[in-house]
Amino acid sequence: MIGLLALVAALLVVSESFIRFLAPAALPDWGAEMTVYLIGWAVMLSAARMVRDNMHVGVDLLTHSLSREKRLWFELFACVVGVVVSAVIIYAGIQMVEFAMRFHERGDSSIRFPMWLYYMAIPVGFALTAIQYVIRAVGLLSAREG
């Protein structure tokens, strides 16, 4: 899904470049706007995958010097912080979506894209991220018991 969003965004950028060169008058006004929306969704969705694949920025220098037990507790603490931060961002994202829906916010281009659909990437992306942190924490606790 993330790759598909990025691919469509890249195709939009490339096609706009060709159209701008060949027939500037035919250039749609919505291409750049849609590219931003697609990349925004791709970034928000990729956060959960990064947690799942343990690719987020970490303090490896510190954690590698810890004992296995302390490293596990440190990683568990990081998961709890990740869930809390995700929850705060989910709440703020929902507020943004509700605001955009209430005031019928639309994009600036001719397609008048509903902004709540774009803003929805924030709570959806961070909800998936929080779920991945919970799954990771459960896995860490299971490893501790095993």
Report the alpha-carbon angle 77-78-84, nearest 5.
90
Q: Tell me, what's the pLDDT at 2?
A: 87
The closest of 91, 76, 89 to 134, measured between CA atoms, is 76
DSSP 31-51: HHHHHHHHHHHHHHHHHHHHH
Average pLDDT over residues 5-11: 93
Token couple for 16: 């706009």
- The pTM score is 0.87
CB contact set of 134 (below 8 Å; sequence gap of 6+): 79, 83
Residues 121 and 17: their CA atoms lie apart, in Å, by 27
Residues 133 and 83: their CA atoms lie apart, in Å, by 6
Q: What is the pLDDT of residues 50-102, one digit of tens each?
A: 999 988 777 677 777 888 889 899 999 999 999 999 999 999 999 999 999 99
- pLDDT at 9 exceeding the cut of 90: yes
Q: Are 42 and 121 in contact (CB under 8 A)?
A: no
The partner residues of 114 in beta bridges, in order of sequence, read 106
